[in-house]
Amino acid sequence: MNAGATKEGTARYAARFAGKVAVGHFREWNGLRVGSIGFGTYLGAHDESTDDLYREAIVQAVRLGCNHIDTAINYRCMHSEKVVGAALAELFESSGAEREEIIVATKGGYIPFDGSPPANVRSYIRENFIERGLVDEKELAGGSHALSPSFLSAQIEKSLENLGLSHVDIYYLHNPEVHTAAVPSRIFLHRIKKAFELLETRVAEGKIGAYGISSWEAFRVAFDARPYISLEDLVLAAREVGGESHHFTTVQIPFNPAMAEGFALPCQKVGGKTMSSFDAAAALGLDVVTSVPLLQARLLKGFPPFLVTGMATLGSNAERAIQFCRSVPGVTTVLVGMSDPMHVAENMGVAHRKPLSDKELLALFA
C-alpha cells in the first residue's frame, strides 16, 4: 500500500465517476484530482453513537464521489480522527477505495483531549504536555495552543496513530492567529518559521505530503485587526525554510453567503497590491479549501432569499449553499460537515450538477 494519495490513484478514483458526476466536480489540488465537495468532521458529541454515524457517513460519501476527508486531532476529543481511520479501514478492506485515491487532511495546534474532556484542564495540560517537555508554558497561547516543533512533532505521530495511517496528505496549523493576539508579529513569524521547518522535515520523512494553514479569522479581517495574518508573509517564511520547492500549499478559510470576506474583503497585499484572500492565495500559488458552507446549519433556515430564487432548481438550502461555495472562483474544495448519513446523499447530489459559471454566479446578484 502506498503511503498516501497519488496522482495516479486520485485520477483512477475520478475516472470511476465519469458520467456519474458533472464536469467540474473533480479539480486539481497539488497535482492530485480532488472532489469539489469534501467531508468535514468537526461537529458532534464525543461518543460511540456519533462515531457510528460518522463512520457510516464517511463510507457512503467516498462511494458517492468524495475523496477529500478533513479532520483535526482536537475534534471531538480525538474521536473524529479515530472514526476517520475506522471508516478508511472499512473502505480499504471492502475494496470501496484505495489509500492512493483518498486525500486525508488533519490539523494540529490546540491541546487535544483524549476521549473526553479532563476533570481539570490545567492539570491535564501541565502533566501531559508541559512537564513532558512538549510545550514551553511561555509559548502557550490562549492557555491551549502551541506551535512549538516538539509539540507538533508529537501531535503528528498521535494523529497518524489515531488515523491508522503512515502518512497524511496535508497537515494544517490550526488557527495560528491565536498567537497574534498574544505576541508581537516578529515573534509570531519566528514561531511560524520553526513550525514550517518541522513540517518540511516531516514531508522529507514521508509522514505528510504538504502543509497549510487552517484559519477561522486570520484571512477574513482587516490589516489592523489582531487576528490578521499576511499570506505573503507566510509564503516568504515557507521559502526561507523550504526554498522555492517548499510544501506550503493550502489555506483553509470559512466561506458561505453570510461569511464572504475571504472572497469579497480586500484584506491582503501581494507585491504591494491590495486584494482579497482568495485572490492573494491564487497570486501566491496557494489552493483554497473552504469550510462551514452551511454556517453550522444556521443557513438552512436563513438562506438569502435572492439566492433561493436564483438557484430555485436545487431542492434545499443545503444544496444551494454547497453549490454557491463550490462555484466561486478560487475554491478547490468545500468541506461539508456530514455527521448524519441521511444528509450524505443530498449533499453529494450537488456533484451531479455543473458548478455555476461566472456568468451564472454574477446573475445571482443582478
Q: What is the pLDDT of residue 366?
A: 77
Pair type for strands 268-270 and 248-254: unpaired
**DSSP symbols for 119-146:** S-HHHHHIIIIITTTSS-GGG-BTTTB-
User: Is 168 a residue whose pLDDT tops 50?
Assistant: yes
User: Is 83 a residue whose pLDDT tops 80?
Assistant: yes
How far apart are alpha carbons 90 and 56 in whole angstroms? 10
User: Is 325 a residue whose pLDDT tops 50?
Assistant: yes
User: Is 310 a residue whose pLDDT tops 60?
Assistant: yes
Choose among 59, 48, 47: nearest CA to 89: 59
Within 13 Å, how many C-alpha atoms sit on residue 238's CB side? Answer: 23
* 171 and 208 Cβ atoms separated by less than 8 Å: yes
User: Is 315 a residue whose pLDDT tops 60?
Assistant: yes
How far apart are alpha carbons 269 and 222 in whole angstroms? 11
At 170-226, the pLDDT tens digits run 999 999 999 998 999 999 999 999 999 999 999 999 999 999 999 999 999 999 999
Q: Where are the domains of the chain?
A: 7-363
As separate numbers, helices (DSSP H) first and strands (DSSP E) second, the chain gives 14, 12
Mean pLDDT of the chain: 95
User: Is 2 a residue whose pLDDT tops 80?
Assistant: no
DSSP 3: S
User: Is 1 a residue whose pLDDT tops 50?
Assistant: no
At 233-262, the pLDDT tens digits run 999 999 999 999 999 999 999 999 889 999
* 87 and 54 Cβ atoms separated by less than 8 Å: yes
Task: Provide the CATH topology of domain 7-363.
Answer: TIM Barrel (3.20.20)
Q: What is the pLDDT of residue 76?
A: 98
Virtual torsion, Cα 289, 157, 89, 93, nearest 10 deg: 120
Q: What is the pLDDT of residue 279?
A: 98
Q: What is the pLDDT of residue 302?
A: 77
| 298 — pLDDT class (breaks 50, 70, 90) | confident
At 127-164, the pLDDT tens digits run 999 999 999 999 999 999 999 999 999 999 999 999 99
Q: What is the pLDDT of residue 176?
A: 98
3-state helix, strand, coil in the chain (%, to 5): 45, 15, 40
Quick one: cell of 162?
489515531
Q: What percent of the chain has pLDDT over 90?
A: 92
Q: What is the pLDDT of residue 342?
A: 87
